[in-house]
Amino acid sequence: MSEVSTNDLVRNLEALLYVSIKPLTIKGLAQVLGTKEEDVEQAVEGLRDLYSREERGMQILRQGNQIQMMTNPAAASAVSALYHDELAGELTRPALETLTIIAYRGPIRKLELDQIRGVNCALILRNLLLRGLIESSDEEDVFDRFYSVTLEFLRHLGITSPRELPDYNELHEHQKIEEFLSSTNEDVLINEAKI
- Domains of the chain, with CATH numbers? 6-74 (1.10.10.10), 90-194 (1.10.10.10)
Question: In angstroms, rounded to a whole number, what is the distance separating the alpha carbons of residues 82 and 12?
Answer: 27
What is the overall mean pLDDT for the chain?
Answer: 80
Question: Percent of the chain having pLDDT more than 70?
Answer: 79
Q: What is the DSSP string of 27-68?
A: HHHHHHHTS-HHHHHHHHHHHHHHHHHTT-SEEEEEETTEEE
Quote the DSSP letter at residue 107.
S
At residue 106 the predicted structure's pLDDT band, cuts being 50, 70 and 90, is confident
Q: Is the pLDDT of residue 130 over 70?
A: yes
Using one digit for the tens of pLDDT, what is the confidence trace for 40-98? 999 999 998 888 876 888 888 888 888 888 888 788 788 777 666 555 667 889 999 99
Q: Give the pLDDT of residue 178.
A: 61
Q: What is the DSSP string of 142-174?
A: GGG-EEEE-HHHHHHHT-SSGGGSTTHHHHHT-
At residue 13 the predicted structure's pLDDT band, cuts being 50, 70 and 90, is very high
Q: Give the pLDDT of residue 183.
A: 59
Using one digit for the tens of pLDDT, what is the confidence trace for 19-47? 887 788 999 999 999 999 999 999 999 99
Arithmetic mean of pLDDT, 147-175:
83
Q: Is the pLDDT of residue 193 over 50?
A: no
Q: Is the pLDDT of residue 163 over 70?
A: yes
| 73 compared with 143, residue with greater pLDDT | 73
At residue 188 the predicted structure's pLDDT band, cuts being 50, 70 and 90, is very low
- Supply the pTM of this predicted model: 0.52
Q: Which of 180, 186, 162, 142 is nearest to 101 (CA)?
A: 162
